[in-house]
Amino acid sequence: MQEQLMNWLLENENPSIRYATLTAFLNKPESDSEVIASKQDIMLKRLVPKILERQNSDGSWDVSDRF
């Protein structure tokens, strides 16, 4: 069961979970190639890019002069 759970947490499908698993559970350093790749993938896959694509070119969200 633990091996199945770990394999699921390490799937490439969700890089945020993979990164957290590699660093928090497996104690891999930031310099590890898997950690580096998963950290880069966070910005390229799934939720983060979807959020960032809604940001205006000036860095604001929605109406530029409204917080």
Let me know if residue 64 belongs to a domain.
no
Let me know if residue 66 belongs to a domain.
no
Region 4-10: mean pLDDT is 94
Region 21-42: mean pLDDT is 96
pLDDT-based confidence at 60, cuts 50/70/90? confident
Region 2-19: mean pLDDT is 94
Query: Could you give the number of structural domains in the chain?
Result: 1
- The CA–CA distances, whole Å, from 43 to 1, 4, 15, 49 equal 31, 26, 9, 6
pTM: 0.76
Residue 67: its pLDDT value, please? 59
Structural domain of 42: 2-52
State phi, psi for 62 to the nearest 5 degrees.
65, -115
